[in-house]
């Protein structure tokens, strides 16, 4: 568990957060996007590469999976040296990778595991096979503190069709929570972005309390990597907000992560990255404007 510490200057020391996920060369999703999100939200970002993609804002053209031996070496080398206060898991690629990640996390016991079950790219490219999905259910779901599926991913995890209404979302999130350990605090954040309407509604559920999180939908094509950004925002904020079992701190974390993503989407038009689904603006609140710089003397 992360305990806030002070540096010699008296400032709080940022928590260390790792992303175990794939690489998107365009920077809109995967490890690159996760580390940008960690940085924007006051956490020090680390990354373990579980998969490589050939990808841009218009689609995925190929996937390469490094050896599980090297994946294991990455995890063990990092975790043996760096105190990690949260761990975000994204695209893993195949069942061998899933079981390897689960095995090493069981060894190192990191706190605040945020599992984003990445299965399909924004362009519709399948990122996870059936054996890997079964491995995800068996090996990684029981380790997660919170999972963040969207509606198609929820359907795959439950082996049924995607929820198509808010009432079906409520039923699905209850069934998803039953896939997690029942004897400890665990959460499901079911994202409702695939439902129609001007409001975007997510459901946060711990087995007892159903919390409805709503915001206005932003009409924009720049939504590449939104799932990665939301889950990594939760991972960055959990060790800063979550100091013990508490409904209020998890709800606060989820609301803050969604607010960050909402503003990142709203400011995405300031970027010009690719000709397809552009990325969100991870540093919308931090980047200086040209007029903020004084000319050299």
- Which residues are tagged catalytic? 191, 223, 225-228
Q: Is 118 exposed, middle or buried (0-12, 13-18, 19+ CB in 10 A)?
A: buried
Q: What 3-state DSSP class applies to 234?
A: helix
Core vs surface per residue 188-214: b (16+ CB within 10 A) or e: bbbbbebbeeeebbbbbbbbeeebebe
Tokens of 115: 């599992």
CB 13 within 8 A of CB 5: yes
CB 95 within 8 A of CB 71: no
CB 146 within 8 A of CB 115: yes
CB 271 within 8 A of CB 281: yes
Q: How far apart are the first and last CA of the chain?
A: 48
């Amino acid at each position: 568990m992360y305990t806030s510490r002070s540096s010699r200057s008296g400032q709080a020391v940022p928590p260390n957060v790792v992303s175990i996920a794939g690489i998107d060369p365009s920077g809109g999703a995967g490890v690159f996007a996760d580390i940008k999100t960690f940085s924007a939200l006051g956490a020090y970002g680390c990354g373990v590469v579980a998969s490589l993609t050939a990808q841009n804002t218009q689609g995925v053209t190929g996937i390469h999976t490094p050896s599980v031996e090297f994946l294991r070496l990455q995890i063990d080398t990092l975790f043996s040296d760096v105190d990690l206060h949260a761990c975000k898991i994204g695209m893993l690629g195949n069942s061998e990778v899933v079981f390897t990640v689960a095995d090493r996390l069981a060894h190192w016991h990191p706190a605040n595991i945020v599992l984003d079950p990445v299965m399909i790219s924004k362009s519709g490219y399948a990122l996870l096979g059936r054996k890997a999905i079964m491995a995800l259910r068996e090996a990684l779901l029981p380790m997660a503190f919170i999972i963040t599926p969207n509606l198609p991913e929820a359907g795959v995890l439950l082996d049924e069709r995607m929820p198509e209404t808010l009432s079906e979302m409520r039923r699905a999130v209850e069934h998803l929570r039953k896939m997690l350990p029942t004897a400890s605090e665990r959460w499901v954040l079911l994202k409702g972005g695939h439902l129609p309407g001007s409001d975007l509604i997510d459901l946060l559920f711990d087995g007892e309390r159903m919390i409805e999180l709503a915001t206005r939908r932003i009409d924009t094509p720049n939504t590449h990597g939104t799932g990665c950004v939301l889950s990594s925002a939760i991972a960055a904020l959990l060790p800063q907000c979550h100091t013990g079992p508490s409904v209020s701190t998890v709800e606060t974390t989820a609301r803050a992560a969604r607010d960050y993503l909402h503003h990142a989407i709203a400011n995405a038009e300031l970027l010009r990255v690719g000709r397809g689904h552009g990325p969100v603006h991870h540093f919308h609140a931090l980047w200086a404007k040209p007029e903020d710089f004084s000319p050299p003397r």
